[in-house]
Amino acid sequence: MTQVRTCLSIILAAGEGTRMNSSRPKVLHEIAGLPMIGHVVAATQAAGSGAIAVVTGNGADTVRASVESLATDVEFYVQHQRLGTGHAVLAARDAIERGYDDVLALFGDTPLVTPQALDTARKRLSDGAAVVVMGFRTGNPAGYGRLVQKDGALIAIREEKDCDEAERQINFCNGGLMAISGAVALKLLDAVGNDNAKSEYYLTDIVEIARKQGLGVEAVEVPFEELLGINNRAELAQAEAIWQKRRRQQLMLSGVSMQAPETIYLSHDTDIGPGTTIEPNVWFGAGVSIAKDVRIRAYSHIEGASVSTGAEVGPFARLRPGTEMDQNSKVGNFCEIKKAQIGTGAKINHLTYIGDASVGEKANVGAGTITCNYDGYNKYRTEIGQGAFIGSNSALVAPVNIGDRALVAAGSVITRDVPADALAFGRSHDQTIREGKAADINKRNAARKAGR
Ligand code: UD1
Ligand code: CA
């Protein structure tokens, strides 16, 4: 989607979002772990918009800090009084004045818009339209501005409060987003007044204004799912579901198998290679990359981890940030891994905690092994060598190194380094056997019970 025309995107984000009942500015509520406004920024960047201006108001500093952490080269304008969408776009007057071929007016609370839809609208501008409105059809148009057409041509957008009875029946609605020719944008916006039911400066009025000036005005129809505007947390959840479904679909079509796709939760940046299978009920947090031909088994919880080709995770595994699993390695049920590198072909199959560690190639970590990485103040590392074998239920007290091919006896508490090829016992003392003692104890207990 490379267009030669220059483009400025103005993202409106000054609204209060009262209906979210939240101390957080509305546009910072997340979908797939990314603030809504981050989705809008990404979509417009993908549609080739070089310049992005965000109009803030409510929670301006918080919104700005969040957007700056997601994207560079975004400029910010503050709309001090919220006098309507037309007024809000004009807060970015300085940016518009620099001169762009295309100006996109976007909403920070309409996060599902796709680069394709923006691209389509921009193409209409390059074909000569002055204003392109993104509309959708719905059986329930209540609350939306209506696209008023005459002989198939868009002549006005009427906000619901300003509609007459006939206009209220129209089910072709304004999604709110628009593409405006940069050459006429300021002229149109400056002509917007506030003579309407809400006494606001409506961006939507530029449709009628452009018409009157003999300029081309068009509507492009976009699926409702792309123009959903988020006003409350129920709509946020609806948008989340749409986003998840869309992304799962993309991944499946690219070669990822999902047996129960609707039970898999993805993050905005989850990357999964072809040939990989994701079993039901798997949760992905931010920063996960899964290579090809991996199997992620049911009920695993994965964030900040990278998993290489041929590896297997779960069922019921937890990979925390900083986990790197090399090729064909395995982390099995009820294992937690944090900030650790698991070497090629290494196996950690059952009930284990590995944190701040490296596990060598083909090492085998037995059931119940714990790296004791924290003393309440500081964290320490555990290094396990290639081909090492850690017996079940061992505590490796960090900092500690287990050499290549070393053996750690089951039930050991290891506090000192183990050299390569050595066997380490770290039990408190050798096992003691007292012949016949169990029978004595049982007899005594049975007598006690009978005497009660
Ligand atoms: C707007 C449209 C309506 C459309 C609907 C789609 C106008 C006049 N109306 O109505 O036709 O059907 O979106 O969802 O454009 N904002 C500011 N400053 C302001 C006012 C709004 O930044 O002074 C921002 C809001 O934060 C929000 C966006 O603009 O992101 C839309 O504003 P909102 O008040 O939600 O408009 P709607 O009444 O939903
Ligand atoms: Ca709205």
Q: Mind listing the pLDDT tens digit for each residue in 143-181?
A: 999 999 999 899 999 999 999 999 999 999 999 999 999
Q: pLDDT at position 431, please?
A: 79
Residue 430 has pLDDT above 90, yes or no: no
pLDDT digits (tens, 9 = 90+) for 272-315: 999 999 999 999 999 999 999 999 999 999 999 999 999 999 99
79 lines ligand 1 (CB under 6 A): yes
Tokens at 68, concatenated: 């700056």
Q: Using the 8-state DSSP alphabet, how is residue 229 labeled? A: P
Instruction: Give the residue from 360, 105, 290, 347 showing the smallest Cα distance to 207.
Output: 105
Pocket test for ligand 1, best of 55, 67, 107 (most atoms within 8 A of CB): 107
In 265-368, the DSSP E strands lie at: 271-272, 277-278, 283-284, 289-290, 295-296, 301-302, 305-307, 312-313, 318-319, 323-325, 330-333, 336-342, 347-350, 353-359, 364-365
Active site residues: 350
> 3-state DSSP helix/strand/coil percent for the chain, to nearest 5?
25, 30, 45
Residue 372 has pLDDT above 70, yes or no: yes
- Distance, CA of 127 to CA of 279 (rounded, Å): 47
Residue range 390-406: mean pLDDT, rounded:
97
Q: pLDDT at position 2, please?
A: 56
Q: pLDDT at position 179, please?
A: 98
Distance 18 CA to ligand 2 centre (A): 11
Residue 341 has pLDDT above 80, yes or no: yes
Tell me which ligand sits closest to the C-alpha of residue 230. Answer: 2
Instruction: Give nearest CA residue, ligand 1 atom 1.
Output: 176
Using pLDDT thresholds of 50, 70 and 90, give the confidence band for residue 428.
confident
What percentage of the chain has pLDDT greater than the value 70?
99
12 lines ligand 1 (CB under 6 A): yes
Tokens at 57, concatenated: 């108001």
In 169-317, the DSSP E strands lie at: 172-181, 217-221, 257-258, 271-272, 277-278, 283-284, 289-290, 295-296, 301-302, 305-307, 312-313
pLDDT digits (tens, 9 = 90+) for 188-210: 999 999 999 999 999 999 999 99
What percentage of the chain has pLDDT greater than the value 90?
95
Using pLDDT thresholds of 50, 70 and 90, give the confidence band for residue 50.
confident
Using pLDDT thresholds of 50, 70 and 90, give the confidence band for residue 3.
low
**What stretch of H or E contains 442?**
helix 437-450
Q: What is the mean pLDDT of the chain?
A: 96
38 lines ligand 1 (CB under 6 A): no
Strand, coil or helix: what is 313?
A: strand
- One-letter amino acid for residue 246 of the chain: R
Instruction: Give nearest CA residue, ligand 1 atom 17.
Output: 14
Residue 432 has pLDDT above 90, yes or no: no
Distance 50 CA to ligand 2 centre (A): 26
Q: pLDDT at position 31, please?
A: 98
Look up the pTM and report it: 0.93
Least confident stretch, 14-23, 126-135, 274-283, 297-306: 14-23
Residue 1 has pLDDT above 80, yes or no: no
Q: pLDDT at position 429, please?
A: 76
Least confident stretch, 67-76, 237-246, 427-436: 427-436
Atom of ligand 1 nearest to the CA of 57: 22
Distance 110 CA to ligand 1 centre (A): 10
